[in-house]
A and B are shown apart, each in its own frame.
Chain A
Amino acid sequence: MSLLQVTNLTKKFGKFTALDGVNLEVNSGEIFGFIGPNGAGKSTTIRVLLGILKATEGEVKIFGKDAWNDAVEIHKRVAYVPGDVNLWPNLTGGEVIDLFVKLRGGNNKSKREELIKKFDLDPTKKCRTYSKGNRQKVALIAAFSSDADLYILDEPTSGLDPLMEKIFQECVIEVKKEGKSVLLSSHILSEVEKLCDRVGIIREGRIIESGSLTELRHLTRTQMLVQTKEPVNLKELKGIHEIEETEQGLSFQVDTEELDNAIKHISQFGVLKLESSPPTLEDLFMRHYEGTEKAHDTGVGGGK
């Protein structure tokens, strides 16, 4: 059952088209990874989902309700963590958490304390003194102490250290176990790979690829390292890339659909050693951006 459905969403800021016919679907009980470089339109999409921006065209439904018109009703069941957490400098973290939980409705005091302990946050400090990571912790604690049905998380770990990242992942897995859904926008591909059931890749305002990780893997290449008795000639084969002679042997990448042919071919030369690494999301991601200009910076994209 689909919990969130975006159909043909277009968002324009004046003449600039930020989102161009985006289609997305998040099903009940799944974790959906939303990946793309800065300025691709991740945050813009999420802000439309939350009814903070108004769609120029297209339909956005959450829980079967319209994201713009029924925003308040929808938000009672949504927990959101923005990418850039700006807090009020003269309130304490504890005060902000309480305020956020209260504004969404519902209350879970024991969960709050547990999470504050887990994330190792001092709630008595003013937000002014918090680092980026600590501000993110405040938003995460507020989000996970509420009983939501859908969690919308916009690059929630960009300021967290690896230890806290792990705790964050535990929290996500826990809500998944409870049958909740998560929309996770991220830069950190290993995280998306570990957590997500399905991913959508956005680039320049369009979804260029979406599906389960297994579905997408056919688009990727496998990294191979072989040592053979006789020198191998790979030149005539299709789908072989980045051939390189190394001390350990011959290193190359092979398209997933040509894997069978490649192995058959190599086996004729007397294989001494064969190492392969599975296609990672990293490769998948990089392949989609090959040839395009490099992503500008590593911060969270606030681009319109």
Chain B
Amino acid sequence: MAKNLIAKTGHLTRFILRLDSIKIPLWLVGLTFFTLIVPPAFVGLFDSQQERDAMAETMANPAMTAMVGPGDLGNYTIGAMTAHQMLLMTAVVAGLMGILLVCRHTRADEEDGRVEMVRSLPVGRLAYLNATIITLVFASIALAAINAFGLYALGIESMDFEGSLLYGIALGATTLFFGGVAAVFAQLSDSSRGTTGYSIAILLVAYLFRAITDVSYEALSWISPLAWVTKAEVYSTNNWWPILLMIGASIVLFIIANYLNSIRDLESGFLPAKPGKRYASAFLQSPTGLALRLQRTGIISWAIGMYVLGASYGSVFGDLESFFEGNEMLGQMLNGDDDVSLVEQFIPMLMIVISLLATIPPIMAINKLRGEEKKGRLDHLLGRAVSRTHLMGSYLAISVVNGFVMLSLAAIGLWSAGAAVMEEGLQFGMIYGAAMAYYPAMLVMIGIVVFMIGFIPKATSFIWLYVLYSFFVLYLGGLFQFSEWIGKISPFGHVPQAPIEEFTWGPLIVLSALAIVLMIVGFIGFNKRDIESS
């Protein structure tokens, strides 16, 4: 009987591995890449123990602990530093990989009717689930092995073999655990969206719970599986128990998933699917309302993200002096000037990062118009009494307001956290002004997208290359000593770098005017061209 339930699991495992023969390696390469480039960079940046201790001091604040977890700050070697700053974040991404992998081959395949076809063949009822789990195990082992050997192969003194192995296995175990969470939710929820949604929610709750308890009452943080990753104390005490606990918990989850799968019907779930709304709210019944509704979740997530980003930058302001003391390389990235404080020197560089990141959500908001066109859904609106100007105007308005809100939230986050940790406080006007100075440049980027949607719709996604270029040139420009015109190709290169540069209105007015012209021309183009069919 039991054998019948899992008949042909091996065949299906090979099949799933083949289906994922590109996706899994891409995830592995991406995750490993970020793990392996960081330690050598740390070696370059923090040459002496003195510099590393300065870094440890900067990291010793609640905001940092909340973000990356506790670390071995007393003995801050390159290894301890890597484990402290990188391991938890990488583990979250590894967990995400597990969730997506499992969801893809459980509930998503079931929802699309593929599992039904497989079930009609002489395979066991639990075979597909277990083939997915075996694939997950393979992916986790591969992740663990590549990272462990990769880190050890870097040959950095403080990164011994045992620590590297534990680092790798911690990542693999996280993939396994959250894959297990997704396997259970694939049985409970009756849609693939629900499965991914609930699983990612668990991942986020685990992270947040860990963040709160790590700061307030560390013993409680044992409840969150993500805290087990930091409790392994990789490259310092190398504690294996939390990771073994994680693997054990994963196995329990797999057993629960199998049990639930065996007692339910195909395409049913245990969580009740709640019926949706019978009527549209008054809010939804306009092009703007619809556009906003479609982007709601994304906008809210970005808004929270921007505030947290600003706040986490602000939280290091208190220890900035000690951090930069004697670190030549980082000093080079700032424009050295003794008249202004280090914080003020640091702000322009932060603002470039913040403003470019804050440009992503408004660009996504305006790009959505193009996305809707490609999916053939604009016909529904344009086939009714909605003009093209009205339609594009709705998306543009959302994008423009979105950008303003994102930039403001990041600035408010930066100021509120900064003011809290700095003894002498921080002027809100200075921070907010420095951020808002980038708003016209952001409008130019939005204007370019409007223009492209109007005239060269197929090229719309090239805007991301321009954003990437701006980031690369302006953020790293100081380090590589690029000549000035390379930065001026980006609208962000024309923004006066308050507070170190004198604030001038000229470039901002020119940028705003350029943005408006681009938008107007884009509207004309959109009003003249064919709407593509799906």
Which of B275, B286, B379 contacts A50 (CB under 8 A)? B379
Q: Is the CB of A124 within 8 A of B278?
A: yes
Most chain A CB neighbours (cut-off 10 Å) among B275, B284, B379, B528:
B379
Task: Output the nearest chain B residue to A126 by Cβ-Cβ distance.
Answer: B276
* CB neighbours of B341 from chain A (8 A): none
* CB neighbours of A91 from chain B (8 A): 276, 280, 284, 293
**How would residues 110 to 145 of chain A score, 1 for a CB under 8 Å from any chain B CB and 0 otherwise?**
000000000000011110110000000001000000
Q: Is the CB of B385 within 8 A of A76?
A: yes
| Residue B120 lies at the interface, judged by CB distance under 8 Å to chain A | no
Residues of chain A at interface, number, CB under 8 A: 43
* CB neighbours of B393 from chain A (8 A): none
Task: Determine, out of A28-36, A92-100, A174-182, A186-194, the stretch whose residues face the partner at the interface.
Answer: A92-100
Which of B191, B280, B379 contacts A98 (CB under 8 A)? B280
How far, in angstroms, from A80 to B376 measured CA to CA in the complex? Answer: 14
* CB neighbours of A304 from chain B (8 A): 533
Which of B277, B287, B386 contacts A94 (CB under 8 A)? B277
* CB neighbours of B21 from chain A (8 A): none
Given A52-B531, A304-B533, A86 and B382 contact (CB-CB distance below 8 Å): no
How far, in angstroms, from A128 to B112 measured CA to CA in the complex? Answer: 11
Q: Is the CB of A104 within 8 A of B384?
A: yes
Which of B276, B279, B384 contacts A80 (CB under 8 A)? B384
A150 smallest CB distance to B (angstroms): 12
| Residue A203 lies at the interface, judged by CB distance under 8 Å to chain B | no
* CB neighbours of B278 from chain A (8 A): 92, 94, 123-124
* CB neighbours of A94 from chain B (8 A): 276-280
How far, in angstroms, from A128 to B293 measured CA to CA in the complex? Answer: 16
Q: Which of B266-309 contact A (CB under 8 A)?
A: 275-281, 284-287, 290, 293-294
How far, in angstroms, from A98 to B529 measured CA to CA in the complex? Answer: 29
| Residue A288 lies at the interface, judged by CB distance under 8 Å to chain B | no
| Residue A72 lies at the interface, judged by CB distance under 8 Å to chain B | yes
Q: Is the CB of A82 within 8 A of B284?
A: no
Task: Output the nearest chain B residue to A107 by Cβ-Cβ distance.
Answer: B285
Q: Is the CB of A104 within 8 A of B385?
A: yes
| Residue B534 lies at the interface, judged by CB distance under 8 Å to chain A | yes
| Residue A51 lies at the interface, judged by CB distance under 8 Å to chain B | yes
B143 smallest CB distance to A (angstroms): 32
Q: Is the CB of B285 within 8 A of A52?
A: no
| Residue B23 lies at the interface, judged by CB distance under 8 Å to chain A | no
* CB neighbours of B191 from chain A (8 A): 128-129
Q: Is the CB of B387 within 8 A of A103?
A: no
Which of A13, A86, A99, A123 contacts B284 (CB under 8 A)? A99
Q: Is the CB of A75 within 8 A of B380?
A: no
- Residues on A facing B (Cβ under 8 Å): 13, 43, 47, 50-54, 71-73, 75-76, 78, 80, 82, 84, 86-88, 90-92, 94-100, 102-105, 123-126, 128-129, 139, 302, 304
Could you give 30 example pairs across A and B, Cβ below 8 Å?
A50-B382, A52-B378, A53-B530, A75-B385, A75-B386, A80-B379, A82-B380, A88-B290, A90-B294, A91-B276, A91-B280, A92-B278, A94-B276, A95-B277, A95-B280, A95-B284, A98-B279, A98-B284, A99-B285, A102-B280, A103-B381, A103-B385, A103-B386, A123-B278, A124-B275, A128-B191, A128-B193, A129-B191, A302-B533, A304-B533
7 closest A-B pairs (Cβ-Cβ)? A98-B280, A92-B276, A124-B275, A102-B285, A95-B280, A80-B383, A103-B384
